[in-house]
C-alpha cells in the first residue's frame, strides 16, 4: 500500500480486500470490555479538521485511541488556523512536533495531496471538498460485504447530489474496482456529465432502479443546492428522488438502505425509513471505527491487533 490514503485511486482491489480483512480482525476489539490494543503505542496521530464533522473526527479519534496512539485534535475553532495561519505553516508545525499520521478534513479539494508536500508522516484524507472521502467508501464496502457476503456483482444505486458528493465519488470508484454494478440516480443537474467514464450507469428515474437493487445508498442533499437552482424546490426533490415508505416497498427482499449521514430526514429519506430493519446506517458508523483502525495500522505499519506479530 501507499504511504498515504488520498483517493480510492491509491488502492488496488487487493489492497481493499486486505483493508476490509484487517478491519474485520479489529472489529472484535470494539466488543471487548477493554477496547484497546497496543498496536500504535507511542505513535502520534493528528486530526486536522478544517471543516466541522463531529462524526468523522470522533470515529478517527476512537480508532487511534483503540490502537493506543497519542491523539491530537486540531480544529479550526480556537486554533491558529482561525487566526489566519496557512495550511503550509500549520503542516510545518505539526511536522516539527513529530506527527506520524495526519488525518485531514478540508473544504478545498486536493488539500490532502498538497499537505503531503510539507509533511513526512502519512496523510489520510477524511474528506476534501467535492473530491473524495475514501475512508467513508471503505467502511461502506465493509458494511455491504458484512451484510451481503460479497461485493462482486452487487447492484448498488447511489441516489442524490452526486455532483457535489465526495462520498459518491469515492464509493463509485471503489465499487467499480470491486466488480459491483453501480447506478447513479438523481436530477440531471446533480449528476456529473462524465459519469459514464467512471464505469457506472445513470438513471433519472428512481422507481425503475429500485426493484433491481441490493443496496440503495442515499446521499445527503443540501438545501443550499435549491438556492443555487439545481432543482426547483426541496418539496419537488423529495417527491421525485426521496426514499419514501412506498418506494422502500419496491426494493427486493434482503436489500440494504444506507446513508453516510448526517441525514436530512424528510428530504432524501423519509423519517421512519431510516429506522427500518433493512437500514444499516448505525452499522456504518460502528464499522467506521474498525476501518479507520485498519487504515492507521496498515499505513503506519504498527504491531498486530493482538499485540506484536503483525498481520
Which residues are identified as catalytic? Answer: 55-56, 83, 105, 133
Count the neighbouring beta carbons within 10 Å of the beta carbon of residue 290. Answer: 25
User: Does 226 participate in binding other proteins (rule CB under 8 A)?
Assistant: no
Stretch that binds other proteins, among 148-156, 194-202, 206-214, 219-227 (CB under 8 A): 194-202
User: Does 51 participate in binding other proteins (rule CB under 8 A)?
Assistant: no
List 44, 59, 111, 135, residue binding other proteins (CB under 8 A): 111
User: Does 197 participate in binding other proteins (rule CB under 8 A)?
Assistant: yes
Q: Answer yes or no: are the C-beta atoms of 293 and 300 closer than 8 Å.
A: no
User: Does 187 participate in binding other proteins (rule CB under 8 A)?
Assistant: no
User: Does 4 participate in binding other proteins (rule CB under 8 A)?
Assistant: no
List 132, 161, 268, 270, residue binding other proteins (CB under 8 A): 132
From residue 199, give the alpha-carbon distance in Å to each of 63, 159, 177, 237, 274: 33, 16, 9, 26, 29
Cβ-based nearer residue to other proteins, 129 or 301? 129
Cβ-based nearer residue to other proteins, 38 or 129? 129
List 17, 113, 202, 283, residue binding other proteins (CB under 8 A): 113
User: Does 80 participate in binding other proteins (rule CB under 8 A)?
Assistant: no
Say how far apart CA 202 and CA 264 lie, in whole Å.
23
List 17, 25, 62, 129, residue binding other proteins (CB under 8 A): 129
User: Does 76 participate in binding other proteins (rule CB under 8 A)?
Assistant: no
Q: Which three cell numbers stand for residue 84?
A: 489566519
What is the smallest separation between the CB atom of 262 and other proteins, expressed in angstroms?
A: 20
Site for other proteins in 137-176 (CB under 8 A): 166, 169
Q: Which three cell numbers stand for residue 94?
A: 505539526
Q: How many CA atoms lie within 13 A of 15 on its CB side?
A: 18
What is the smallest separation between the CB atom of 173 and other proteins, expressed in angstroms?
A: 9
Site residues, other proteins (CB under 8 A): 86-88, 106, 108-111, 113-114, 128-132, 166, 169, 192-195, 197
Amino acid at each position: 500500500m501507499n504511504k498515504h490514503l488520498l483517493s480510492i485511486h491509491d488502492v488496488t482491489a487487493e489492497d481493499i480486500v486486505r483493508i476490509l480483512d484487517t478491519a474485520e480482525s479489529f472489529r472484535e476489539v470494539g466488543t471487548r470490555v477493554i477496547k484497546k490494543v497496543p498496536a500504535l503505542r507511542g505513535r502520534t496521530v493528528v486530526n486536522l479538521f478544517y471543516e466541522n464533522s463531529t462524526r468523522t473526527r470522533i470515529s478517527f479519534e476512537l480508532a487511534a485511541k483503540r490502537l493506543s496512539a497519542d491523539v491530537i485534535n486540531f480544529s479550526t475553532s480556537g486554533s491558529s488556523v482561525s487566526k489566519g495561519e496557512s495550511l503550509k505553516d500549520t503542516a510545518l508545525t505539526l511536522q516539527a512536533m513529530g506527527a506520524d499520521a495526519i488525518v485531514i478534513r478540508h473544504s478545498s479539494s486536493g488539500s490532502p495531496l498538497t499537505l503531503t508536500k510539507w509533511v513526512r508522516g502519512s496523510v489520510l484524507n477524511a474528506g476534501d471538498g467535492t473530491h473524495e472521502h475514501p475512508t467513508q467508501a471503505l467502511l461502506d464496502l465493509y458494511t455491504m460485504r458484512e451484510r451481503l457476503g460479497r461485493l462482486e456483482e452487487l447492484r448498488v444505486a447511489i441516489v442524490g447530489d452526486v455532483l457535489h458528493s465526495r462520498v459518491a465519488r469515492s464509493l463509485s470508484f471503489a465499487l467499480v474496482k470491486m466488480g459491483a454494478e453501480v447506478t447513479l440516480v438523481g436530477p440531471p443537474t446533480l449528476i456529473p456529465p462524465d459519469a459514464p467514464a467512471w464505469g457506472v450507469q445513470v438513471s433519472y428515474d428512481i422507481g425503475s432502479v429500485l426493484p433491481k437493487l441490493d443496496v440503495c445508498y442515499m446521499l445527503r442533499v443540501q438545501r443550499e443546492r435549491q438556492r443555487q437552482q439545481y432543482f426547483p424546490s426541496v418539496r419537488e426533490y423529495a417527491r421525485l428522488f426521496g426514499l419514501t415508505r412506498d418506494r422502500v416497498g419496491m426494493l427486493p427482499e434482503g436489500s440494504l438502505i444506507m446513508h453516510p449521514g448526517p441525514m436530512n430526514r424528510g428530504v432524501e429519506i423519509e423519517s421512519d425509513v431510516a429506522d427500518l430493519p433493512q437500514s444499516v446506517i448505525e452499522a456504518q458508523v460502528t464499522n467506521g471505527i474498525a476501518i479507520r483502525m485498519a487504515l492507521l495500522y496498515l499505513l503506519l505499519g504498527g504491531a498486530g491487533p493482538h499485540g506484536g506479530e503483525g498481520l
